[in-house]
Amino acid sequence: MSEYIYSEEELSSLVSHRLIPQLQERSVLLLTGPLGAGKTSLVKELLKQVGVEDIITSPTYSYVNRYSSQSYENIYHFDLYRLNSEEEFFMNGFDEMFRAQKSLVIVEWPKVIESYLQSKNVVSCELSYLIDCLEKRKIKIS
């Protein structure tokens, strides 16, 4: 596990030097942390760097947004904050998106599907605030 402290200005460098290299052999990225810790900001920067040209928004109400780029045929960005159960995840067919070839799956709030994810090769990012410096965030990547 690696831990980094960064500001908004340092996010681009953190994504390109620390996060993207971790994803080269993995296709599932899990993001955890409290509301407002920077999960969606991290996703926006990551998708920009892998070549997504669309407007990137949080899928809070739709559960999932789909993008594509030259690097990844399919990029699925999930926000499972409002999902009530793993059963609801399967009933919506979301598990099929984890099987797509040449894809990157990003999951905010993955706890509800924790048991399903145990069989996946994942990169986990835990984001948090710094109590003594609200302009900076801490990220643990494993």
Please say whether the beta carbons of 28 and 117 come within 8 A: yes
Backbone φ and ψ of 98, nearest 5° = -75, -15
**What's the pLDDT at 101?**
81
> pLDDT (tens digit, 9 = 90+) per residue, 61-95?
899 999 999 889 999 999 999 999 999 999 999 99
Given a cut of 70, the residues of the chain with pLDDT beneath it are 24-26
Alpha-helix residue ranges (DSSP H) falling in 50-113 = 86-91
- What is the C-alpha to C-alpha distance for residues 137 and 6, in angstroms, rounded to an integer? 5
DSSP annotation of 81: T
